[in-house]
Amino acid sequence: MPGATIQVPLAASGLRAAIEAVPLWLWQLLLAVGIIVSVVALYRTATPSGRWGERLRSRFVLGLPWGTLLGLTFVLCVYLFVQGGWGNLRDPVSLPFQATSYAYPLGVLTAGFAHMGWSHLFGNLWAGLVYGSIAEFAWSHYPTGRGSESFSSWLTNPFVRIGVFFGAIVLTGLITAAFSWGPIIGFSGVTYTLAGFALVFYPIATIVAVLGWGQLWHVYSAFVSPYSFAEAQVRYDTVGWASTAVQGHAFGFLLGVFLAALLLRHRRRGANPQRIWLAAMVYGIANGIWRVYWFLGSGRYVQFKAVGTALVFVLAGLIVAVVAGSDRSVFSWLPHVDRSLGAPRWQVAASVLLAVLVTMSMMGAAINLAAPAGGELPDDAVEVEDYEIAYVENVTNQQIAVVDLPFLDQVTQIRSSGVIVTSEKRHLWRLAISKRALEARGSGRVLVGGVGWRSSVWATRSGWSVVGGNITYRVFLDPEDREKRLVHTSAPAVADLTLSNRRIALRPSADAFDVAIRRDDRTVGVAAIPQSGANVTVDGIRFTRSGRDLYASTNGTRIRVASRQVPPTRQ
C-alpha cells in the first residue's frame, strides 16, 4: 500500500494550507458573531426591561465602576509608559520594576503595577475588572445607610467615594509589593485583595466569577489564536507554580477579607456563613492559595499539598468566624462563667486574622530589608549600565539566601546554575535563564533596562553529546553592539566505548570543539572536529562528520560516537 502512505501526509498538508489561507479576521469575525448571537438570545429571553441598568445605576455613577476603571488605566499606563510597552507591547522591561529591597524604592513603588509581559498584564486586567467591579458595587458610589443622602457630607459625595476606591487600589498595590516575600511583580496582589473583599459581600457572584474565569480566558485565547496545530514532541517546561508569589496572593486575599469584614460590621449587615465558606474554599483552591512550596535548587522544588490544603480549610473557617461570627463572648459556652467576660467571638477571630497579616508583613519587611548580596562574579561578566550578566554553575542563590534560618542552612543555601543578572544599584540578583532551560532551548535572552531605555544580552549554548549521555558544551554571551563573548567551557565528555584500546573524548576549545584520543589515561592525539562531509584521522581512528553526527572508523568498524546539539534559530 505505498500509495496510501504518500497520500495521507499530502492530504494533511493540503488541509493545513487551506486553513492557513483563511484570513485571520474572518476567523475572529466568526467568533464575534457567535458571541453576539448568544448574548442577544439571552437578552431577549431574560427581558430585563432596563432592570440591569437600574441595578447598576443604583450603586454606580452612570452605571460604571469608575474606581476600578481608573485603577486598571493606571496599571496600563505603567506598562505602556514606564516599562516601555508602548513600543514593545509584548516585550516590556521588567527586571528594574520588581520589588527587591527597600533600598531600591523604584522597585517597591512600581512592582504592584508592573508586569512581565502582555499575557501577564491581560490576565490581571481581566481579574481586576471582574473582582474590582463586584467589590466596588459592594462599596457603592452612593451611601447605603438607611436615610442617608448623597452630598450630605464629604464621604457621601459619589466622586469622593470613587476617589477613595481608586486610592485604595493604589495603596493596596504599594502594600502588597512592600510586604510580600522576595522579589515580586504584578497586579495580582491587588486582584486577590479585591476578590477577598468581593467574596465577603457577594460570595455566589464571586464563585461564578471564579468558575467563569477560565472560560473568559478561553474566549480571549480563541480570538487571538483562532486555530492551532500540534504534534507530540519532547520539550523543556518550567514549573509554572514555582514562579507564583503565593504568599503575596494570600496576603492580598486576607487583607481584602479583613477590610470587607470591618465594613460589613460597620454597616450592620448580616452574612451567610455557608456561602462565604464555600466561596472561600472554591477561590482558595482554584487560585492556588494552597500551593506551599520551597526551593531544592537546580530547577527543582517541593510542594506541600497536604499542608497547603489544610491551611485553606483553616482560613475558610477563620474567614467565616470573622465575617459571620457571633457577638456572644468567647467564654459563653463554659458553665458557671460570667457570659459578659471576654471579647465577642468575631473579634477574637478578627484578632487572629490581624495577627496573621501583621506576622506576614513583618516577615516580608525583614526580607526586604536584607538586600541580596552580589556574590563573586566571573571576570568575563557582561556589563550593561549598572547590570552585570554572567554564566555561573553551582553558586549560592543570593535571592534565596537573604532568608536566614538558624540551623537550617540547607534550606536557604540553595545552589543554582545558569545565566544570572545582578545590579548593586537595584539590589538585584536573579537567575534569568537556568542551566537546564539553556540546554533545552539552546539560546535565551536577558532583557535589562530602566525608565526610558532597554538592552538585550543573548546567551547561547552549543555542545556535543557523546555515546553514554555525557555532554560537553560552550556558553556565549552576546550583548547588543558588542562582540560575542565565550564565557564558559565545560569539562570534556568521554564516550562510553573503547576502540582498539582507545577512549574517545570531545572537549571544547576557544575556537570550536576537539576530538581527543586517550590511551592508558593519556591523551595521544587531538584534532578539531571536522565540518559536515569532511573527515580527520587521529591516532589511527578516522572521524567522519555527517550533519549533526560524528562517526569513528577503525579496522572495518564504523560507529556513531557523538551528536551535535544545535541551538534553535532566534525568534
Three-class SS string for 162-227? HHHHHHHHHHHHHHHHHHCCCCCCCCHHHHHHHHHHHHHHCHHHHHHHHHHHHHHHHHHHHHHCCC
More reliable by pLDDT, 272 or 229 = 272
pLDDT of residue 5: 42
Q: Is the pLDDT confidence value at 570 over 80?
A: no
- pLDDT grade, residue 571 (50/70/90)? very low
Task: Give tens-digit pLDDT for 437-469.
Answer: 898 888 899 999 999 899 999 999 999 999 887
Per DSSP, the residues of 22-87 read S-HHHHHHHHHHHHHHHHHHHHHHH--TTHHHHHHHTTSGGGS-HHHHHHHHHHHHIIIIIS-TTT
Q: Which of 355, 423, 442, 418 is nearest to 183 (CA)?
A: 423
Q: Could you give the maximum distance between any two Cα atoms of the chain, in Å?
A: 103
Task: Give tens-digit pLDDT for 62-116.
Answer: 888 999 999 999 999 999 999 999 989 889 999 999 988 888 899 999 999 999 9
CA dihedral 296, 299, 302, 305 (to 10 degrees): 160
pLDDT of residue 6: 41
Q: Which of 316, 488, 263 is nearest to 394 (CA)?
A: 488
Task: Give tens-digit pLDDT for 165-206.
Answer: 999 999 999 999 988 877 789 999 999 999 999 999 999 988
pTM: 0.84
Least confident segment among 169-178, 263-272, 352-361, 456-465: 263-272
pLDDT of residue 78: 96
CA distance readout (Å), 51 to 64, 299, 538: 15, 54, 87
pLDDT of residue 248: 82
Q: Is the pLDDT confidence value at 267 over 80?
A: yes
Q: Which residues of 353-375 are buried (b: 16+ CB within 10 A; e: fewer)?
A: beebbeebbebbeebbebbbeee
Q: Is the pLDDT confidence value at 435 over 60?
A: yes
Q: Rounded to 5, what percent of the chain is helix, strand, coil?
A: 45, 20, 30
> What's the whole-number mean pLDDT along residues 313-339?
70
Task: Give tens-digit pLDDT for 8-38.
Answer: 454 556 777 887 788 888 888 888 898 889 8
pLDDT of residue 403: 60
